[in-house]
Amino acid sequence: MTQAKSEADQGWLRRAGLVIALLGAATVMVPIAWMISTSLKPETEVFRQPIEWLPVHVRPANYAEATTLIPFWLYFANSLVIVVPVVIGTVISSAAVAYAFARMRAPGTGAMFGLVLAGIMLPGEVTLVPSYLLFKELDWIGTYLPLTVPAWLGGGAFNIFLLRQAFLTIPPEHDDVARVDGHGFLKILWRVVIPQSWPAISLVAVFAFVDTWNDFLGPLLYVNDQDRYTLPLGLNFFKDVYNTQWAHLMAASVLALVPCVVVFFLAQRVFTQGIVLTGRR
């Protein structure tokens, strides 16, 4: 039985918490509502005061235009080409690495974990130039490799750390049951640890998807061919130093966030799936 179902008592505290959360959700939605509302207005009506939440003149053509003023679907496809290998690579490699940190003893792993964290403590601004030169030596500039390969090499400190924490909450007795059966580390990871960590793993997948989908700086630095630009770069074309095309920018932004919303919505179901009780293999 999930925690959710067992807490089905109608406490007033629970209701109060829900109300506050709903109010919070409404507040969070406000900028997003403005985005959607703006995306349907003609450009000249975007800033009418007082704010018109429901557009007076609805202009769905903004969406069609947003996809033709810039090569929207080309950029969409490019983003997809990058995101898929990144998500797969991140989940696999960060799970493996985090598992080692959480479950295995070996000399030097403490220092290594320190290095994992150290990697995100140095502001990227100053490693930009050496990194760029390094990728140049490897001949990766102009390709997607600088963006996809790091995902397979550990997936980033954040994900390693997150999964390590998640794995550490699984009692080691579960492992022992499997080990007694003669299973090696890999099988334990696959059969015991991962099935109990779906919430964390799905979170890693979602974060990897969203962060890569919205990555502006990476493609900007390493991709020089406009035909291979990704969506965040494409959106910036609507923003000019003299004039921003708000309606089209919002329309394109709304379209751009649909995949992320879908991915998240699907993934968060995993959060509500029943979790394994102690003792179950």
Partner 1 sequence: MSPLSRRELIKRASWLSAGLLASPAVLAACGRAGPSASTGPAAPPASASGSSGVVTGTTQVLVGFGTGNAPDQIPVQEELATAYAAARPGASIDYLRIPDTDEAQRKLGLLIAADDAPDLVLPTGLYGIALYLDQNVWQDLSGLMAAYGIGLELFHEATHRAARAVNYYGADSKAVVGLPAGIFTHAMAYNKELFAQAGIPEPPHKDDQADWTYERQLEIARALTVDTAGKSADMAGFDPSKVAQYGLGHWDTGMMIRGFGGSVYDAASRRMTIADDRYAQGLQFGADLINVHHVLANDELAAGVAAGADDPQLAAWRSGKIAMIDMCACDLLSFGVDTQFAWDVAQWPRGPERLVSHLNLDVGAIVQQSDGYDAAWQVLQFLLVDPANGARLSTESYGAMSPLKAETGTFVEELKPRFPDVDLQVFVDALDHSTPEQEEWFPAFTKVNDMFGQYLDAVYQGEAPAADQLPAYQEAAQQAVDDWFETHTVPPA
Partner 2 sequence: MPDIRLSPDRREALAAYVFLSPWAIGFVLLTAGPMLASLVLSLTDYRLLEPNRMAWVGVGNYERALAGDPLVWQALKVTAYYVGLSVVLELVVGFGLALVLNIGFRGIGIVRTIYYLPAVISGVAVSLLWLLIFQPSSGLANAGLGLFGVAGIGWVYSTTWVIPAFVLMSLWGVGRAAFIYLAILQRIPTNLYEAAKVDGAGRFRRLVRITLPLVTPAIFINLVLAVIGKFQIFTEGFVISEGGPGTSSLFYVLYVYRNAFRYFEIGYASALAWILFAILMALTAMVFWTGRRWVYYEGERSATQ
User: Which residues 131-160 are close enough to bind partner 1 by CB under 8 A?
Assistant: 131-134, 136-137, 141
Both structure tokens of 113: 């974990």
Interface with partner 1, residue 220, by CB under 8 A? yes
Cis peptide before 50 (omega within 30 of 0): yes
Closest distance to partner 1 from the beta carbon of 243 (Å): 6
Closest distance to partner 1 from the beta carbon of 10 (Å): 44
Choose the contact partner of 245 out of partner 2, partner 1, none; CB within 5 to 8 A by kind. Answer: partner 1
Distance from CA of residue 108 to its chain's centroid? 31
- Up-side HSE of residue 253: CA atoms within 13 Å toward CB? 20
Interface with partner 1, residue 237, by CB under 8 A? yes
Query: Hey, which residues between 52 and 91 contact partner 2 (CB under 8 A)?
Result: none
- CB closer to partner 2, 196 vs 228: 196
- DSSP-based helix, strand, coil % in the chain, nearest 5: 70, 0, 30
Binding mask 18-57 for partner 1 (x = CB under 8 A): --------------------------x--x-xx-------
Q: Where are the beta strands (DSSP E) in 44-119?
A: none
Interface with partner 2, residue 167, by CB under 8 A? yes
Query: Hey, which residues between 189 and 218 contact partner 1 (CB under 8 A)?
Result: 217
Q: Could you write out the three-class secondary structure of 213-263?
A: HCCCHHHHHHCCCHHHCCHHHHHHCCECCCCECHHHHHHHHHHHHHHHHHH
Bridge partners of 239, per DSSP, are 244
Interface with partner 1, residue 266, by CB under 8 A? no
- What distance in Å separates the CA atoms of residue 83 and residue 214, rounded to the nearest whole number? 10
- CB closer to partner 1, 46 vs 162: 46
Choose the contact partner of 255 out of partner 2, partner 1, none; CB within 5 to 8 A by kind. Answer: none
Both structure tokens of 182: 């003669």
Interface with partner 1, residue 236, by CB under 8 A? yes
The answer to whether 101 and 166 are in contact (CB under 8 A) is no
Distance from CA of residue 226 to its chain's centroid? 24
Choose the contact partner of 224 out of partner 1, partner 2, none; CB within 5 to 8 A by kind. Answer: partner 1
Interface with partner 2, residue 28, by CB under 8 A? yes
Give the interface with partner 1 as residue ranges (CB under 8 A).
Answer: 44, 47, 49-50, 69-70, 107-108, 128-134, 136-137, 141, 217, 220-221, 224, 226, 233-234, 236-246, 248
